[in-house]
Structure 1
Amino acid sequence: MGWSTEFFQQGRHKALSFTDMDHFVDAFMCGYFGSMDPNNLLRMAWKWQRGDVSRDTGGDLAAALARVTAKMLVMPITHEMFFPPSDCAREAALVIGFPLVTLAAPGLFPDTQISPHDLDPALCLALGNRPWKFSRNGEELRLQPQGRLRSNSGTFLAQSAVAGAGAIQVPSYYGSQDCAKRRLIQLFPD
């Protein structure tokens, strides 16, 4: 569990010093899971299968995630089949308190004193169908992105923003490395 199809297709086990797939399965998978009580593994699988956060909201995932008020850190794994970034971004956007950041390549907006009211929707790239939201001093502004790109992948949007395709509003974990390297800037840090 947890290994992506790409892991196997691209032979990534070799980067971990395993000579072939049989060696990986025998030395790692059996070595790791073999010492575990099979009943514990079955119990963990049972809990995972039934770990439905929407159970108390009649199956409404959006309503269930909107109830979350705790601070959270979302750590998707690009080549992992259980928690891919696209799922994490979609679900994180449903959590009310999750920090969203508005990012753009330096120079996309020559005026560094831009405000959300100044944004041209045609320069805004969409993460799914979610409108952008801004809030300051009790005033809320909603903007529906109309840029030439729409994607469910925050990673793709961050790469597109670095290339100058437009501004993005994404969960804060997307683009953080690009911001650190100054390939992207946060437009409205406060």
Structure 2
Amino acid sequence: MSTAALRQETYLPAAGSELAQVHDFLKAHEEAGRGRPGTRYFLAGSAPGDQIELPAEVYRVLRHVVEALQQGLAVTVAPLTQKLTTQQAADLLGVSRPTLIKVLDEGKVPFERAGTHRRILLRDLLAYREQRRAEQYAALEATAVDLDEEEDLDSVLEQLREARRTAAKRRRRGSAP
């Protein structure tokens, strides 16, 4: 398949039992104590002996897609190059391009220059995204307050405000929440 033929595709869950059969096979295999199917994965055609071995990464993608479709979710597959433009990187993070440029200039994500253009390695961007998610979850946890049903609502709100102030102070100091 040519590079020009690769494009973003969104797949919607299909009605029918074929998807359920694939999901059930994968789940039963794991529940039988055998874990995920062995290190060999095959894609079979309709003719006897018409099969090809799939790499483990392709299996993981298939497993993820099948689970999402089984839950009634749509799945989008978008081919990406290993080096992204700033716009592609911003889109992947769900931020504006100027916000991404600020992140790059602050040294939070390594990049290289191609003339006047910045290029970001996909693996570096994904690592930053995971780090940012972990920080966000930690910040949420830091603002969590145990609720006591008998406690006064004003008291709970004040505890939340104090937790936010503490998290904001940590953020300004540059330490992890």
Is TM more than 0.5 here? no
Which is higher, the Rg of structure 1 or of structure 2?
Answer: 2
Q: Which has the higher contact order (CA 8 A, sep 6+)?
A: 1
TM range (shorter): under 0.3
More helix by share: 2
